[in-house]
Structure 1
Amino acid sequence: MDPSLRDAAAAAVRDGLKDATITEMFLTCLDDTLETTVSELDDSSTFIITGDIPAMWLRDSVTQIRPYLLFAAASPELRRMLRGLIARQAELILRDPYANAFNRTADGRGHQDDLTDLNPWVWERKYEVDSLSYPLQLAYMFWRATGDTSWATPRFAEAARTIVRTIAVEQNHEVLSPYQFRRPNAPAPTDTLTHDGFGPPTAPTGLTWSGFRPSDDACTYGFNIPGNAFAAQSLAQLAELATHAFADPDLSRRALALSTQIRTAIRQHGIVEHPTLGPVYAYEVNGLGDTLLMDDANVPSLLSLPMLGVCPPDDPVYRATRQLVLSPENPYFVEGTHASGIGSPHTPPGHIWPIALCVQGITSTDPDERLRMLTTLRETDGGTGMMHESFLADDPNQFTRKWFSWANSMFCELVLDMVGQPVTALLRPGHAR
């Protein structure tokens, strides 16, 4: 990162928050992704590992670079890196739109014993609809930040058409989907899919199916509502890109129509009546009458919907849902002696995810709550000056994944948001600069 841009960001944080520890943590986390996880491949594309896992998740590789989008217009080096990431993601999606994580080369590393249609590029083949949404969000935000359209190659357009086709197929998973996934001797029931790898039954609703959540845990019910909301938003952004960034009117029409179908289905099937809060978003439904009320730390989450551009933070259904998921009614809401926040079945009981605390701060309209989240993150770093996957709410010195780049970037995004440089501004509709 250009030293002058880094120094300017540090000055904004130092002057805006007047907290030397936060400023130091911000710089440490800002440096982390670029210095430890990003590499340029021989074809000039960009490969980004998650941290302690040497594979690239489509989701994580976008969340890891979101803060740098704010500096891309002023940095040719960052623009090159981001264009390379868009290109690499497009190629990987064309290799397998159902995979969530990929290898640097076709070396067959990762979960090669899984019973699914593997190829040597794939590290893991858990189908998570958000894995197809994040690359669209990246292209949109990069275009909004820079006005650059050189990434909009025929290969990107082909990948975008593959995304639209896959999401549409999974609206009728039981009949049309080719996807199956089984993990022999899975360490947890949530690490595999039931019903011979097709997952629990669903009925068509207009929602799109996902085998797994953004936590990489299997969905209880196949229609994950935050994942659907994010897909609808990203498809609408693709429609805008296919109109203004590259000329593909048919793709624009199909993406917008699919987005509209999913949004309509969310209103019809994804909002349920809570006995005291009124209408709230469900976390998952199956179209057969079953509903799951909860939230998970991983994004897309119900808590994160405003951060993804799905709805404003003062939306009444979102406000009621926020009250629900930040309470003991959410089975993964954790209260401890050092912190309270949302965890995940992906980590041990009693653990809170810093990602969720960052999301809670970014999506809050209460200055006191935002500051409280930042203070909590400062005090629960386990003495490392960086974020982790999760920490024990009663003892932050006990944490999972010391090297987890997504959490570090989320911390940077919260800090930048609090000093008037919101990454989310790039999601507001309108033409690029």
Structure 2
Amino acid sequence: MIKIPEILLEKAGEVEAYYKAACPDMAPFVKQCFLNTIETTVKQLEDGSYFVITGDIPAMWLRDSAAQVRHYVRYAKEDKELQEILEGVIQKQTELVAIDPYANAFNESADGRGHQDITRLNPHVWERKYETDSLCSPLYLAYHYWKETNRENIFTEGFLTMLKLVLKVFRTEQNHESSPYSFQRQHCAKTDTLINQGKGRPVNHTGMTWSGFRPSDDCCKFGYLIPSNMMAVAALTYGAEILREVYKNNELAMAYTGLAEEIQDGISDYGIVERGGYGRIYAYETDGFGNYNLMDDANSPSLLAMPYLNYCSREDELYKNTRRFVLSGENPYYSCGSFAAGIGSPHTPKGMVWHIGIIMQALTSDSEEEIRSCLSMLSATHDKTYFMHEAFHPGNPSEYTRPWFAWANSLLAELLITLKEKDFFASV
């Protein structure tokens, strides 16, 4: 789609050479997965911005697009061409949030493609499933890019408008019953629509912010999705720093900090339960009335991904308890087979495991044995494609969904880069 910056070709070669020597089983994945996003999903538009499709769907998800380019950010300081691309992605995300902060996926142009649901429609919008993490993801990408490059030119008036919209929506959804948002889809699986005339199940006031849908694009059972609220706490903290340091807007920064504290208090007061054999763990969802959904989904933000999202440390006791739960048969979406074991999702057929879940397990582990086990499972379940899929059957890896899934490929590349940077195999 576009000319690949030389630095990405160079770094892909360096990582591949490392794995040929250190872990030959993973070497064939490196260039394919490292370059998959830039080779197949990124397109420059006439206005200079960059549009990033999710893979086999011709639309741009705010969450996916941020995740797809995340592993390139660490190289941006060294290369002007890569800076242009990443800044163009940030510009596009900023524009898309301004079009509709409740939408999760967008068209390249206002051509009306996508789902025609019962909600406030816009020809720019592919799908209008409100997901809290969709508003967090652009803040994560911009913040990490800023910290890596020290380039503040991404923080435009348009970006400030986005920051104000994020605050407004998160505040509104603390009191969802008064929100203007509703969503209904006809003639679909029940996970693709919201009950109660598109408003979802009633929720109590907790301080947390409501989400209609999970990062899998499935509807929430209970409206306070704990991993997304965790991501919101971190994203709001990033936003507050940007507002103070770059925009010198202390008033808005304080509003961001205050909201992060309210959401954190809500997580602490309403999001933790006692589970026999595990102690105190985080729930996946709650309604604030005492109802809980104890599970985890492979899609990030997830409970497994808490340290990856910079919400807590790997040594946090609540995280360790929760991790043991979600990586066990007590999690209804954890499955085992002769080739692999890991977290799946109700978004795909029962009993399937997601590559993203196995990769996230490795990214959040301090155990050399566990990381090696994850690498072995990844190398045994790609069905000779050397790409990551969405979900696969752990007893028959030739049975899988989505042969082309750029987010999963990028996440694997990030894992391989991270292990190389730590020189992981030198200590194994």
TM score, norm. by length of structure 2: 0.96
How many residues are treated as equivalent by the alignment?
419
1:130-169 matches, cutoff 5 A: 130-169=133-172
Counterpart of 1:384? 385
Counterpart of 1:177? 179
Alignment equivalent of 2:71, drawn from 67, 71, 76: 67
- Which 10-residue stretch deviates more, 255-264 or 413-422? 413-422
- 1:352 paired with 2:353, answer yes
What's the secondary structure of 1:306's corresponding residue?
Answer: coil
Deviation at 1:412, TM superposition (A): 0.4
- 1:262 paired with 2:263, answer yes
Counterpart of 1:35? 39
What's the secondary structure of 2:213's corresponding residue?
Answer: coil
What's the secondary structure of 1:42's corresponding residue?
Answer: coil
Deviation at 1:13, TM superposition (A): 4.9
- Structure 2 residue identity aligned to 1:120: P
- 1:375 paired with 2:379, answer no
Deviation at 1:421, TM superposition (A): 6.1
1:185-204 matches, cutoff 5 A: 185-186=187-188, 188-204=189-205
What's the secondary structure of 2:48's corresponding residue?
Answer: coil
Alignment equivalent of 1:79, drawn from 75, 78, 83: 83
Distance 1:234 1:421 in 2: 26
1:100-153 CA-to-partner distances (Å, cap 9, x unmatched) read 0000000000002x1000100000000000000001101100001100110100
TM score, norm. by length of structure 1: 0.95
Counterpart of 1:47? 51
1:395-406 matches, cutoff 5 A: 395-406=396-407
1:275-424 matches, cutoff 5 A: 275-420=276-421
Distance 1:202 1:4 in 2: 49
- Structure 2 residue identity aligned to 1:172: N
- Structure 2 residue identity aligned to 1:220: K
1:358-410 CA-to-partner distances (Å, cap 9, x unmatched) read 10000001011111111211111111011111111111111100111000001
Deviation at 1:77, TM superposition (A): 1.2
- Structure 2 residue identity aligned to 1:84: G
- Which 10-residue stretch deviates more, 238-247 or 301-310? 238-247
Distance 1:420 1:332 in 2: 32
Distance 1:264 1:72 in 2: 36
Deviation at 1:420, TM superposition (A): 1.9
Distance 1:223 1:182 in 2: 19
What's the secondary structure of 1:230's corresponding residue?
Answer: helix
Conserved 8 A contact 1:14-1:20: no
Counterpart of 2:426? none
- Which 10-residue stretch deviates more, 14-23 or 350-359? 14-23
Deviation at 1:248, TM superposition (A): 2.0
Distance 1:63 1:403 in 2: 15
Counterpart of 1:125? 128
Structure 1: any 5+ residue segments left out of the alignment? 423-433
What's the secondary structure of 2:400's corresponding residue?
Answer: strand
Counterpart of 2:14? 11
Structure 2: any 5+ residue segments left out of the alignment? 424-428
What's the secondary structure of 2:198's corresponding residue?
Answer: coil
What's the secondary structure of 1:20's corresponding residue?
Answer: coil
- Structure 2 residue identity aligned to 1:157: L
- Which 10-residue stretch deviates more, 67-76 or 318-327? 67-76
1:169-202 CA-to-partner distances (Å, cap 9, x unmatched) read 100001x20000000111x111100000000110
Counterpart of 1:429? none
What's the secondary structure of 1:196's corresponding residue?
Answer: helix
- Structure 1 residue identity aligned to 2:232: A
CA gap 1:4/1:56 in 2 versus in 1, 3 angstroms? closer
Deviation at 1:5, TM superposition (A): 4.7
- 1:92 paired with 2:76, answer no
What's the secondary structure of 2:170's corresponding residue?
Answer: helix
CA gap 1:393/1:407 in 2 versus in 1, 3 angstroms? same
- Structure 2 residue identity aligned to 1:49: I
Deviation at 1:9, TM superposition (A): 4.5
Conserved 8 A contact 2:41-2:53: yes
Conserved 8 A contact 1:149-1:246: no
What's the secondary structure of 2:197's corresponding residue?
Answer: coil
Distance 2:68 2:252 in 1: 28
1:186-219 CA-to-partner distances (Å, cap 9, x unmatched) read 1x11110000000011011001000000000000
Distance 2:411 2:83 in 1: 20
- Structure 1 residue identity aligned to 2:84: R
- Which 10-residue stretch deviates more, 103-112 or 8-17? 8-17
1:24-46 CA-to-partner distances (Å, cap 9, x unmatched) read 21111111100100001111111
Distance 2:349 2:284 in 1: 21
Q: Among the aligned pairs, what percent are the same residue?
A: 45
